[in-house]
Amino acid sequence: MIGQIIKKQALVLIRNPVQLLLLVGLPIILILILGVALSSFMNGESPTIQVKLGIVEQEQEDAQLERFSEDKKGELPPAVLNQLDDILPIQRLKEDVFGSDEAAKYITLEEISPLDKEKVLDDNTYTALIEVPDNFTYEILEYSLLGEENQPSLQLFTNTEHQLGVSIVDGILKQFQEQLTLQTFLQEEAINPENLEENLQNVTADVLTLDQQVPISSKDYYTVGMAVMNVLFIASAIGSIAFLEKNIFVFDRIILANVSRWVYFVGILLSGMLFAFLHLVIIFGFSWIVFGVTWPNLLGFTFVTTAYAVAVGGIAVLLTALSYRLHSEVITNFFSNILVSLMALLGGSFFPLGDSSAFIATLGNLTPNGAGMSAYITLLRGNELSDVTDHVAFLLLFGFVSIVIAAWSFPKRGAAL
């Protein structure tokens, strides 16, 4: 009986080309448009943003290092003084940070003579200029190794016309500054300066772990974004079909055939779950074939897809029950016309809105599509299933609560009540 209801729902959906195009065709078109249009913002492999960055050193770092070694001979052990070459901050900034393979793809660093500083500041082709003041390295070493109170800072001149590039450079410098502060902290906590090098290597190792995550391309991102958004329309499509069944008295006919309303209810629920699962598999399958979006963890993908399908099935049956209860399709229309867009925005389907604030990120994860999106993106980055259990649990809980509310509000007799 339930199988017949699911089969009938499938036939009704398949025979409606407009609805089918909206459900399957639209997300594919949107992935194409957004994936291509916004690839420059997200695709680490082919950036179009080019940052031209200058660095002016008012005093050479070698000279400061020599002076520091001479001045602090009595205060620091020889082993530490011998290793100072390895932790020179400006050298690391130039070679390890801005000179890294990843940064070099979109940042070109030029060393500028102090005499040319004004000329560079007038040159609009530069995104920013970093000025390293006199005695900077000497003071950093004092601050890091001897606990001096004053932490020197770099000066950053920015070109307001290159906002995106400026924010990238600013972000990198802030991260660099944090790492320097962390080194100081480790030095203070470790107490024994002999352990400093080991601690610094640990810090480097931590950073490397983060870098090992698989980068997300725009097509990866929008495949997930559009799939988790559009699958919500499965719920509203099923809700609409069910409401039509009520309006044209097909539901009454089913009830008069002595079919329990719970059989119908479960039929709607399972249709929602099954079609949502198939919809996601079709969209992700298409993206795999056409865009090369692959899943490192197939078991995790199946797990998240199943949990998300449960949530969508819950929404489908909830929309059905509410429209039956209210004798109106307004709630289904509100869901598909307004709520889906709002949830998609919060969940990050259009752009990673959650990156702008922790509150919005939390709010986004409290939507089923947001939780699904976070889970999928985490898996695409190469994380394990254990890293997405929170999201999966939320999706299952969301589905369960929706089903309970739907069951409670489902009409007792026929639609004519």
Partner 1 sequence: MLELDGLSKKFKQFYAVKSLNMFVERGEIIGLLGPNGAGKSTAISMISSLAEPTAGDVRYNNKSILKKPGEFRKIVGMVPQEIALYTDLTAEENLQFFGRMYRLKGSILKKRIQEILDLVGLADRKKDVVQTFSGGMKRRLNIGVALLHDPELLIMDEPTVGIDPQSRNYILETVKRLNKERAMTVIYTSHYMEEVEFLCDRIYIMDQGNLIASGTNEEIKRILSSEKTISIKSDQLNEQFIAMLQEHPLVNRVMSTDKEITLMVAKEVSMFGDLTKLAETAGIELTSVHNKTPTLEDVFLHLTGRALRD
Contacting partner 1 (CB under 8 A), which of 105, 119, 253, 327?
Answer: 253
d(CA 53, CA 132): 13
- Does position 1 interact with partner 1 (CB under 8 A)? The reply is yes
- Does position 290 interact with partner 1 (CB under 8 A)? The reply is no
d(CA 19, CA 40): 32
Least spacing, CB of residue 223 vs partner 1, in Å:
30
**Nearer to partner 1 by C-beta: 15 or 386?**
15
- Does position 416 interact with partner 1 (CB under 8 A)? The reply is yes
How do strand 155-158 and strand 128-132 relate by DSSP bridges?
A: antiparallel
**Nearer to partner 1 by C-beta: 214 or 248?**
248
Q: Is the Cβ–Cβ distance between 134 and 58 less than 8 Å?
A: yes
Least spacing, CB of residue 167 vs partner 1, in Å:
53
Element (H, E) at 62: helix 61-71
DSSP 155-187: EEEE-TT-HHHHHHHHHHHHHHHHHHHHHHHHH
Binding residues for partner 1, total number by CB under 8 A: 25
Radius of gyration (Cα) for the chain, nearest Å? Answer: 29
- Choose the binding region for partner 1 from 84-92, 121-129, 242-250, 269-277 (rule: CB under 8 A): 242-250
d(CA 347, CA 366): 8
**Nearer to partner 1 by C-beta: 15 or 358?**
15
- Does position 2 interact with partner 1 (CB under 8 A)? The reply is no
Q: What is the DSSP letter of 74?
A: T
- Does position 160 interact with partner 1 (CB under 8 A)? The reply is no
What does each C-alpha distance from 103 to 109, 163, 181, 255, 308 come to in angstroms?
Answer: 10, 17, 22, 66, 37
**Nearer to partner 1 by C-beta: 203 or 416?**
416
Least spacing, CB of residue 272 vs partner 1, in Å:
18
- For residue 337, what are the contacts with CB-CB under 8 A and spacing of at least 6? none
- Does position 21 interact with partner 1 (CB under 8 A)? The reply is no
- Does position 15 interact with partner 1 (CB under 8 A)? The reply is yes
Neighbours of 37 (CB within 10 A): 11
- For residue 297, what are the contacts with CB-CB under 8 A and spacing of at least 6? 379, 382, 383, 384, 385
Contacting partner 1 (CB under 8 A), which of 125, 160, 258, 386?
Answer: 258
**Nearer to partner 1 by C-beta: 7 or 174?**
7
- Does position 18 interact with partner 1 (CB under 8 A)? The reply is no
d(CA 291, CA 356): 28
In Å, the largest CA–CA distance within the chain is: 98
- Choose the binding region for partner 1 from 49-57, 80-88, 301-309, 407-415 (rule: CB under 8 A): 407-415
- Does position 63 interact with partner 1 (CB under 8 A)? The reply is no
Question: Nearest CA to 331 among 235, 399, 397, 190?
Answer: 235
- Does position 8 interact with partner 1 (CB under 8 A)? The reply is yes
- Does position 328 interact with partner 1 (CB under 8 A)? The reply is no
d(CA 24, CA 39): 22
- Choose the binding region for partner 1 from 49-57, 60-68, 247-255, 375-383 (rule: CB under 8 A): 247-255
Neighbours of 134 (CB within 10 A): 11
- For residue 250, what are the contacts with CB-CB under 8 A and spacing of at least 6? 244
Least spacing, CB of residue 258 vs partner 1, in Å:
5
- Does position 252 interact with partner 1 (CB under 8 A)? The reply is yes
- Does position 254 interact with partner 1 (CB under 8 A)? The reply is yes
- Does position 104 interact with partner 1 (CB under 8 A)? The reply is no
Least spacing, CB of residue 243 vs partner 1, in Å:
14
d(CA 296, CA 387): 14
Contacting partner 1 (CB under 8 A), which of 47, 152, 215, 414?
Answer: 414
Contacting partner 1 (CB under 8 A), which of 216, 259, 274, 281?
Answer: 259
**Which tokens hold the place of 207?**
């950073």
- Does position 298 interact with partner 1 (CB under 8 A)? The reply is no
Contacting partner 1 (CB under 8 A), which of 37, 63, 338, 417?
Answer: 417
**Nearer to partner 1 by C-beta: 99 or 411?**
411
Contacting partner 1 (CB under 8 A), which of 18, 257, 289, 358?
Answer: 257
Q: What is the DSSP letter of 129?
A: E
∠ CA 180-182-187, rounded to 5°: 100
- Residues near partner 1 (CB under 8 A) are 1, 4, 7-8, 11-12, 15-16, 247-250, 252-259, 413-417
